[in-house]
Each structure stands twice: as C-alpha cells, then as structure tokens.
Amino acid sequence: MRNDSRLSRMLHVLLHMARHEGPMTSDEIARMLGTNAVVVRRTMAGLRDSGYVRSEKGHGGGWVIEADLEAVSLLDVHRAVGGPRLFMIGSEHPNANCAVERVVNEALESALNEAEAMLVARLGKVSLAELARRFDQRCRSTF
C-alpha cells in the first residue's frame, strides 16, 4: 500500500512559503515536490478553502501564505488537505459471525482508537511556527 504524503508535502510547501519572498507558482511548487502543477493546485485548494493560503492570478501571481503560523497546527493542515484516517489498519470482517474474530476486532479497534487519539492530540499541539523555528535553527547550525 502506498503512503499518503499530502500532509508532509504540504507542510514542506508551507514552510518554504513562510520563508519565501513573494508568491510561489504552482509550477515552482510542483518542481520542488517532483509532481505535476495540477496536483499542486488541487491539494492547495484545501489549504485555500481553510484560509491558510491565497492564490494571486496573473503575471507575478501564485500562492501566498495567509495563516498565522502560531495558530495553525499540523492537525489543521492534515484536515485541510483531506488527509485520510491516520491508521488504515482494520479488520477484514468488521461484523464477523465468528466469536474469535469479534474478540480480535474489538482488541484491534480499541488499540487503534487509543493510538489515533494520541496522534491527533500530538499533531494538534505542533504549530507551523514551531516547525519554522526548528527549520531556522537547523539552518543557523549548518553555517
């Protein structure tokens, strides 16, 4: 199964945008991510609809970050890009007739629900500003 990389890719884009002077075109972003500009526009639309970025049309236009980096969490970005459930593990037969399978399903569902709640809480605590500060520190330490 292929990983869904929308969250990590859009976090990458948002951090570049936060440190970039002026708009970034879909083509620039696509080259940076090694993808197609249409894919970029489709994914950025969710961020725009959530008010985190805006697009400027015409010559010199492109995508501009609108969000207060302190106010936007990783969870907010995950939701804005239409990220899937965080864990895709599940039972083959959720309404099983077999008692053994029902017990297994209950145990897995309980563990996955707890893990997802922990991950959602953690993603909700990390802001884009925190990632930007980590990036800035890393850049300062390499020079």
HEC string for 63-81 = EEECCCCCCCEHHHHHHHC
Q: Confidence band (pLDDT; 50, 70, 90) for 140?
A: confident
Residue 1 belongs to a domain: no
CATH at residue 111: 1.10.10.10
Residue 48 belongs to a domain: yes
Q: How many domains does the chain have?
A: 1
CA 3 vs CA 82, 86, 89: distances in Å: 14, 11, 13
CA 45 vs CA 40, 49, 68, 101, 116: distances in Å: 8, 6, 18, 42, 26
- Measured CA to CA, the distance from residue 43 to residue 111 in angstroms comes to 31
pLDDT (tens digit, 9 = 90+) per residue, 86-130?
Answer: 666 666 667 778 889 888 888 888 888 898 899 999 999 999 999
Range of the domain at 25: 6-140
Contact indicator for 84, 119 with CB cutoff of 8 Å: no
The model's pTM: 0.81
